[in-house]
A and B are shown apart, each in its own frame.
Chain A
Amino acid sequence: MGSVLTKNWKQYVTLESLLLVFALLYPLFPLFDLAGEAAGLQLHLDQRLVTIFIYGILVVALNVQVGYAGLLQLGIAAFFGIGAMATGVMTVDKYPFHFGFWGALLCAPFIAAVAGTVIGAPTLRLRGDYLAIVTIGFGEVLRTVLINLENITDGPRGLNPVPDVWIPSWLRDFAGGGDAGEANLLVMYYTALLVLVAAVVVLKVIETTRVGRAFVALREDELAAACMGLDPGRIKLMAFAGGAALSGLAGCLYATNLTTTADPTNYDFNNSVMVLCCLIIGGLGSLRGALLGAAMLIGFDNVLSPLLDRAIQVAVGDASHPLARFSSWRWFLFGFALIFMMRLRPEGLFPARRVAAELHEEPEEA
C-alpha cells in the first residue's frame, strides 16, 4: 500500500494542488518571515512569491515558444518589457488613457501579441540558430529604443506611478484590516497567483485540443506535419504570439508590483537568458517543469543567494573584498548549471515525457 503511494507521488504533486497550497498558505507567511529573521534572513515571503509567480508566467510563456513549438527564443524579455511599458502608458497620469489595472491587464497581452506577430511573421521561417540571433537582436533593439526614447518612457526612472490592482474599497479594507500597505501586498499576491493559475489552466486545456496536438506534430516532423495539412508557419506564429501575449501579461503584473515600468535594462538579454535557464533546468515542454524551474531559480536568486553571501562573508571574515560576495560567483554557477544540464539531462528536471523522448533519440547517420 505504502509503495503504491510513493511510486506515483508525482501525480499527487499536480499543478492544481501546488497552487492551492500557495493560495492557502498566505496567512502563515508572517510566521515564516519571523523564522527567517531568526536565521538572519530577510525573507519577505509574500513579496518574493509574487516575483516567483510573475516569472512563473514568463517561463510558462517561453515554454509555449520553446517547449511547444520548438522555437529557439532568446529574447522573451523584450515582450516582458513591452507588456510593462504598455501598462505604464495605459495607466499613468502622463498619458490620457487611464485604463486602470484591469484594463491594462487586458490590453498589455494584446499589444505584446501584436508585437510578437510583427516580429515573428517574417522571421519564424528562419533556421533555428538564425532565429535565436534574431530574437537576441530584437531584444537589443527594443532595449535601446526604450532607453533612448526618454520622453516616451521616462528613461531609467520608468513611467510611474503605475496604480495598484483595483478592487472595491470595502474589499480592500477587509483584506488589509485597515492597513493600506498590507492590503496592497495581499491583493497583489492573490492577483498574481490568480493570473498564473488562469494561464496554466488555459494552457493545459490547449494542450488537449487540436492546437496542442498540432504543436507536437510540428516538433516531431515539420515536413510531415505540412503534408498532413498543418501550416507550420501559422502554428509557429500562433505559438510565438501566444508566448508574447503571456509575457506581456507578466509584464503588466511586474509594472504593477513595482508601481513603475522601471529601468529598461530589466528587459535585456540577461533576463531572457535567466528565464530560459528556468525553463531548461525546470523541464522543457511541461507546465510543471516550467513553474518549478521558475521557483527554483528565482527562489535561489532571491533567497539562497543573499544567504550564501552572508555565509561566505562570515566564513572569510572580510565583508569588503569583492570576491567575498556570492554575487561575484553567481554567473559561474549558472553557467555550470547550464553546461551540466545539457550534458546529463538536456530536457530538464521535470520535462514533458514527449520532449524528453525527442531529446534522447538516436541520431541518424548522414
Chain B
Amino acid sequence: MLIVDAIHAAHGAIEVLHGVSLKVQAGEIVTLIGANGAGKTTTLTCISGLHKPKSGKIAFEGKDLLPLPAHDIVHCGIAHCPEGRRVFPRQSVAENLALGAYIRNDKAGIRQDLDKIYSLFPVLLERRAQLAGTLSGGEQQMLAVGRAMMIRPRLLLLDEPSLGLAPLIVKRIFDVILELNRQGTTILLVEQNARMALKIASRAYVLETGSVIAEGTGAELLADPKVQAAYLGDA
C-alpha cells in the first residue's frame, strides 16, 4: 500500500534520514520505534508532505507522493495525526472534528463517522462544545485521533500518541487503535513506547539516528535481545 524507498531528508544543513525504506501492506499495523531524534517524526512528515525529502521515493497505492503538497496527499487517503496533538485550540471539540471532514461532502457518511468516533471516545461527546485548548492531554489526543479519522483515511499515520499521557489513557488509545485497524484502517504508528507499540504491531521497524537497523514482526522484535536491551528496558 505504502512504499517508502531510500529517502534522505535534512533539516537545513543537518541530515536526519539516511536512506530510510519501509513498506506498509493494506490492513496492517506497522510501527516505527526508536529513540528521541532518531528521525521517526521526519519520516512521517515526509510521507504526509509537510517536509520534502532530498531524495528517494514515496508511493501510495502506486501513486508518487513526492510532487504533491500536503493538502493533496490528504485527498489521496492518508491522514496524519501529528506529534503534539495539534488540535485547533480556539475551536470546540465538535468544530475540530468537523474540520477533519473538511474535504468531504457526504453529509450522511460524515454523520456516521462522527457517531462512531463519539462511541469510541465517549468523553469527546460529553465535551463536544468545549474549546479544544482547554482539554486535558489525553482528551486532546483522543480528539486528534478522532479528527484524523474524520478524514476517513485508508492509511492513518500516528505520531507518538502516548507521549505525555497516563498509562490508563495510553491503554485506552491503543485499544482504539486496534479497533480502528479491525474496522479496516491501515495504521503506521510511530512510538517511543516500544513495548506497547510492538505488542499491537503486525510488523515493525527500528530506526536509529536516521537509518533502519532492524525489521520484523512485532513478536520477533519483542523477543530480540538487542531490541530489549536498547528499547525495552529489560535486563
Residues on A lying within 8 angstroms of B by beta carbon are 361-362, 364-366
CB-CB nearest in chain A for B10: A362
Provide the bound-state CA to CA distance between A364 and B51, in Å: 10
* Residue B45, interface by CB 8 Å: yes
CB neighbors of A among B34-69 (8 A): 45, 50-51
Question: Could you list 5 further interchain pairs (A-B, Cβ under 8 angstroms) beyond the known A364-B11, A365-B45, A366-B50?
Answer: A362-B11, A362-B13, A364-B12, A365-B50, A365-B51
Contact with A along B10-43 (1 / 0, CB 8 A): 0111000000000000000000000000000000
What's the A-B contact tally at a CB cutoff of 8 Å? 11
Majority secondary structure of chain B interface residues (helix, strand, loop or mixed): loop
Contact with A along B167-193 (1 / 0, CB 8 A): 000000000000000000000000000
A365 touches B11 (CB 8 A): yes
The distance from the CB of B54 to the nearest CB of chain A, in whole angstroms, is: 12
CB-CB nearest in chain A for B82: A366
The distance from the CB of A363 to the nearest CB of chain B, in whole angstroms, is: 8
Of all A-B residue pairs in the complex, the 5 with the closest CB atoms, nearest first, are: A362-B12, A365-B51, A365-B50, A364-B11, A361-B12
Provide the bound-state CA to CA distance between A362 and B11, in Å: 8
Residues on A with C-beta less than 8 A from B50 are 365-366
Residues on B with C-beta less than 8 A from A365 are 11, 45, 50-51
The distance from the CB of A357 to the nearest CB of chain B, in whole angstroms, is: 12
The distance from the CB of B13 to the nearest CB of chain A, in whole angstroms, is: 7
CB-CB nearest in chain B for A365: B51
Residues on B with C-beta less than 8 A from A361 are 12
Residues on B with C-beta less than 8 A from A362 are 11-13
Contact with A along B62-106 (1 / 0, CB 8 A): 000000000000000000000000000000000000000000000
CB neighbors of A among B125-153 (8 A): none
- A–B Cβ pairs within 8 angstroms, 11 of them: A361-B12, A362-B11, A362-B12, A362-B13, A364-B11, A364-B12, A365-B11, A365-B45, A365-B50, A365-B51, A366-B50
The distance from the CB of B155 to the nearest CB of chain A, in whole angstroms, is: 21
CB-CB nearest in chain A for B12: A362
Provide the bound-state CA to CA distance between A213 and B12, in Å: 25
The distance from the CB of A165 to the nearest CB of chain B, in whole angstroms, is: 53
CB-CB nearest in chain A for B50: A365
CB-CB nearest in chain B for A361: B12
Provide the bound-state CA to CA distance between A362 and B12, in Å: 5
Provide the bound-state CA to CA distance between A365 and B51, in Å: 8
Chain B CB within 10 Å, residue with most, of A361, A362, A364: A362
